[in-house]
Amino acid sequence: MTTFAVIGAGAIGSAVAARLTGAGHDVRLLARGARADLLERDGIRLSSPEGRIVARPQIIRSAQESPCDVLFLATKADALPGLVPTIARMAGADTLIVPLCNGVPWWYFHGETHERKPMAAVDPEELLFRNVDPAGIVGAVVLLRCTLDEDGGVSSQGAERLVLGEIMAGQNRDRIDDLAQVLAAAGFLAARSDDIRADIWAKVALNLATNPLSVVTGATLHEMFHDPQLAVVVSAIITETLGLAGAYGRRPAVSLEALMNIGKAAGPFMTSMAQDHANARPLELGAIAEAPFELAASAGVPMPVAQAIARLAMHKVTPAPCRTDAQTR
């Protein structure tokens, strides 16, 4: 039997652990504090249009030196460098490591013909680049609309899609096919991509176009794609991001029109960044915004609309300096 482990017990990690556990797999979920207490007591309560399940994976509170077959990293991208020791304890030489994160991943340039150092925005000290063996990494695009409820349950709007792909040609293809089949049997819309980087750029375009804008405006995905004043901003940022992808040799299979249609069908869903902002949690601007801007600067690609909106989002979460009477006169 394939053994799975999930680092991160938020909405995405909990949904993955719940689906795999419900399908009869051996799953360990790393959680801490009150979240671990809740999951040990109540299990993972996952609600979706297909119904409600309660799954009880093994809850672990610290990294165990018993390597699993597949390790999912379901945290914010900026948390990953600090998890390098945990990853090392939970992954063996043959473990597939699947980061389920937004934005441009730290491994992006592994195996690329224009290989370069990782982006400072996602791996500032190169801890991931130097310590996580790329031979085991599986690229992933996560298209799940999941939220943590106030009572600790997880709500999914359905159509839980995961796209997987090898990050270096000819590496792990058969195992990725097998993993996609397992995930599909567990209830995900899962498939292997022949060019995972192109698929990542499509998701980066949607993330960059909607997440910072949702913080600035408070708008849902439905509002951002249907309100004419917001839709023109979204369209402009997607266009800029697809241009950046082209500068790095990738042309996503989906067009601007197709990406806009995906957004129009998303419904009244708040982006993960808007949810974080509403709950006073740090925003995932490093991987979603700063990493693309770092690549844009390196390639000489202008992204004026995306940068303007991202700067406004950063301003909303940066405390203004206290002004004295002298400063206000």
Let me know if residue 144 belongs to a domain: yes
Distance CA 204, CA 214 (A): 15
User: Can you tell me the distance from the alpha carbon of 260 to that of 205, in angstroms, rounded to the nearest whole number?
Assistant: 10
- pLDDT of residue 326 exceeding 70, the answer is no
End-to-end Cα separation, the chain, in angstroms: 71
Residue 324 placed within a domain: no
pLDDT tens digit sequence for 283-302: 889 999 999 999 999 999 99
Number of domains present in the structure of the chain: 2
3 state DSSP class of 142: strand
DSSP assignment string, 225-272 = HHSHHHHHHHHHHHHHHHHHHHHTT---SS-HHHHHHHHHTS-S---H
Q: Which domain holds residue 114?
A: 3-194
Residue 30: exposed, middle, or buried by beta-carbon count in 10 A (0-12, 13-18, 19+)? buried
Domain boundary among 138, 168, 194: 194
**Domain endpoint, select from 156, 176, 194:** 194
The residue type found at 139 is G
Q: Is 93 helix (H, G, I), strand (E, B) or coil?
A: strand
Residue 149 sits in the same domain as residue 64: yes
Q: What's 17's domain CATH number? A: 3.40.50.720
Chain position carrying tokens 């405006």 = 217
Is 34 within the bounds of a domain?
Answer: yes
- Round to whole Å and give the CA distance between 220 and 216: 11
Same domain, 133 and 65: yes
80: in domain: yes
Domain boundary among 156, 172, 194: 194
Q: Please tell me the predicted confidence (pLDDT) of residue 267.
A: 81
**DSSP reduced 3-state for 323:** coil
Considering the domain architecture, whether residues 107 and 231 belong to the same structural domain is answered as no
Q: What is the dihedral angle through the alpha carbons of 310, 265, 106, 283, rounded to the nearest 10 degrees? A: 40
Higher pLDDT, 112 or 197: 197
Which token pair is 162? 């995961």
User: Cα dist. 288→47, 75, 76, 211 in Å?
Assistant: 28, 14, 10, 8
Long-range pairs of 112-118 with CB within 8 A, sequence gap ≥ 24: 114/248, 114/249
Instruction: Give the pLDDT of residue 329.
Output: 36
pLDDT tens for 79-104 read: 999 999 999 999 999 999 999 999 99
Residue 322 is predicted with a pLDDT of 45
Q: What is the pLDDT of residues 208-255, one digit of tens each?
A: 999 999 999 999 999 999 999 999 999 999 999 999 999 999 999 899
Q: How many CB atoms lie within 10 A of CB 289?
A: 28
Residue 286 belongs to a domain with what CATH number?
A: 1.10.1040.10
313 domain residue, yes or no: yes
Same domain, 61 and 183: yes
Summarised one tens digit per residue, pLDDT across range 112-141 is: 766 677 789 999 999 999 999 999 999 999
In a domain, 328, yes or no: no
pLDDT, tens digit, for every residue of 310-319? 999 988 765 4
Residue 329 in domain:
no
Same domain, 176 and 203: no
For residue 111, being part of any structural domain is answered with: yes
Element (H, E) at 30: strand 26-30
More confident residue, 109 or 267: 109
SS3 73: strand
